[in-house]
Amino acid sequence: MDFLHLAAGAVWIGMLAQLVLFLVWLRNNVPEGKRAKLLAGPLQRFSAIAATSVAVLMATGAINGLSQVPDVEAMFDTAYGRT
């Protein structure tokens, strides 16, 4: 679960960084009238992969949390639970 959690976070953050670079490039090199058409495809791909990554992050985070904090007392008695 830790590997999946790390991989999903890396994919999401990596794609976010690439999206920012693409937006900067688009702003500097493409006329305003043509930007929307060029932006539609990458935004759709980013949205699908980002949504999947976030779902994997939530699921693996919940599973990891339940393995570290199995009961209510562990929320206060363990460092993981307090964090």
Mean pLDDT of all residues in 56-78: 87
Residue with tokens 């363990």: 78
pLDDT number for residue 77: 85
CA distances in angstroms from 66 to 3, 36, 56, 58, 80, listed in the order given: 16, 44, 15, 12, 11
Could you count the other beta carbons within 10 Å of the beta carbon of residue 12?
A: 19
User: Could you tell me the CA-to-CA distances from 45 to 37, 42, 62 in Å, in that order?
Assistant: 14, 5, 26
Using alpha carbons, select from 66, 64, 69 the residue that is nearest to residue 79: 69
pLDDT in tens, 9-39: 999 999 999 999 999 999 999 999 898 889 9
> Residue 10 is encoded by which pair of tokens?
């890396």
